């Protein structure tokens, strides 16, 4: 039985509740370009949050659920590409419009537009496919300590609660175990790290619903993928003066999502330039198989300390 870290028992249920989108209507009429219609949903924000705008992982998860609820059974999500246009207002609900782009024999394609008062917050292109046989290969996962030997997130944060209050007070539906010093500890060592490895598992029991497994994995994929942009320079979130915002996020599911066990999230940053940085990540199952791949681009601006 999977149990939540102490004090985090309510975090996973709170996020799973956000995935229960309310269906508010649909349009079966044909649209330009062969689109077959649209369906509409409403999503909420959590009652407790420390962020100033909607967390990107929440938008990814809710958009994926909205898209998946319009696809016939037997097809799993295999890719989701999302562009973030503006920050979401935490005081208002989110409107999800799912456009049916195509329903073929093997694949289904959806576009999800997320709006508030008619203003576009983000848009996702999601694709779903049924099972098929083919060539198989994957990366070899890095060798890291097992998760049970590593401290839970709140223990790793001890002593840094004040500068990292936004992280300490946020919902943590995913149990995070850094396989090395987290960025805020590493910063004090003078070390620069170009790869980050974090074990992740839901902080509690998951329902038997493949779509929710995929959605929570999408949520988790936004949590640490940009870390190496900073750790490669010996910097840390919350301590150094850093402004960050996600521009786009691509996620590929190589196998049907099963997020009720530990997965190792290995990430690095191939490039940062012109106030933008790119992070890439891979999720590995305990047996070493590659589960999902992530590429995210974000605005990352570092400001020198005041007085220097």
For 135-143, what is the mean pLDDT?
93
Residue 222 designated active-site: yes
What kind and span of H or E run contains 153? Answer: helix 153-156
CATH architecture of 11-131+151-303: Beta Barrel (2.40)
The burial class, CB within 10 Å (0-12 / 13-18 / 19+), for 180 is middle
> Backbone phi, then psi, for 35, in 5-degree steps?
-70, 140
pLDDT at 306: 63
- Report residue 32's pLDDT band, with 50, 70 and 90 as the boundaries: very low
pLDDT band (50, 70, 90) for residue 197 = very high
Which residue is catalytic, options 246, 278, 282, 291?
A: 246
Closest to 173 in 3D by CA, of 10, 51, 56, 50: 10
Does the pLDDT of residue 255 top 50, yes or no?
yes
Model confidence at 159: pLDDT above 70 = yes
Burial class from Cβ neighbours inside 10 Å (0-12, 13-18, 19+) for residue 287 reads: exposed
Among the options 11, 113, 222, 240, which is catalytic?
Answer: 222
DSSP label at residue 239: T
- Candidates 259, 220, 215, 266; CA nearest to 77 is 215
pLDDT value at residue 175: 97
- How much of the chain, in percent, has pLDDT values that exceed 70? 96
Range name among 67-76, 217-226, 277-286 with the lowest pLDDT average: 67-76
**For 76-99, what is the mean pLDDT?**
97
Least confident residue range of 32-46, 132-146, 233-247 = 32-46
pLDDT above 90 (res 30): no
- How confident is the prediction for the chain on average, in pLDDT? 93
Can you give the pTM of this predicted structure? 0.94
Q: Domain extents for the chain? A: 11-131+151-303
Active site residue 246: yes
Which tens digit of pLDDT belongs to each residue from 263-274?
Answer: 999 999 999 999
Among residues 97, 123, 186, 296, the one annotated as catalytic is 296
SS (H, E, C) 4-15: CCCCCCCHHHHH
Report whether 242 contacts 230 (CB < 8 A): yes
Active site residue 290: no
Contact between 216 and 196 under an 8 Å Cβ cutoff? The reply is no
pLDDT at 33 over 60: no
């Amino acid at each position: 039985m999977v149990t939540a870290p102490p004090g985090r028992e309510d975090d996973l249920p709170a996020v799973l509740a956000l995935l229960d989108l309310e269906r508010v209507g649909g349009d079966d009429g044909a649209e330009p370009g062969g689109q077959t219609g649209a369906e509409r949903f409403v999503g909420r924000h959590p009652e407790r949050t420390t962020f100033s705008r909607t967390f990107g992982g929440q938008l990814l998860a809710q958009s994926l659920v909205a898209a998946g609820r319009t696809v016939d059974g037997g097809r799993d999500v295999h890719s989701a590409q999302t562009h973030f246009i503006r920050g979401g207002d935490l005081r208002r609900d989110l409107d999800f419009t799912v456009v049916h782009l195509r329903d073929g024999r093997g694949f289904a394609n959806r576009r999800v537009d997320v709006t508030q008062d008619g203003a576009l917050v983000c848009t996702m292109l999601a694709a779903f496919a049924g099972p098929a046989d083919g060539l198989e290969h994957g990366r070899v996962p890095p060798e890291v300590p097992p998760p049970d030997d590593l401290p839970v997130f709140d223990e790793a944060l001890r002593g840094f609660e004040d500068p990292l209050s936004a992280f300490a007070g946020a919902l943590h539906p995913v149990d995070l175990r850094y396989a090395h010093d987290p960025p805020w500890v590493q910063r004090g060592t003078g070390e620069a790290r170009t790869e980050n490895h974090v074990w992740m598992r839901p902080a509690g029991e998951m329902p038997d619903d493949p779509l929710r497994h995929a959605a929570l994995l999408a949520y988790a994929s936004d949590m640490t993928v940009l870390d190496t942009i900073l750790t490669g320079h010996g910097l840390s979130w919350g301590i150094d003066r850093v402004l960050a915002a996600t521009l786009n996020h691509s996620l590929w599911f190589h196998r049907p999502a099963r997020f009720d066990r530990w997965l190792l999230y290995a990430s690095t940053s191939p490039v940062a330039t012109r106030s933008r940085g790119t992070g890439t990540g891979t999720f590995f199952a305990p047996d070493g198989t590659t589960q999902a791949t992530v590429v995210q681009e974000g605005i990352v601006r570092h400001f020198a300390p005041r007085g220097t």
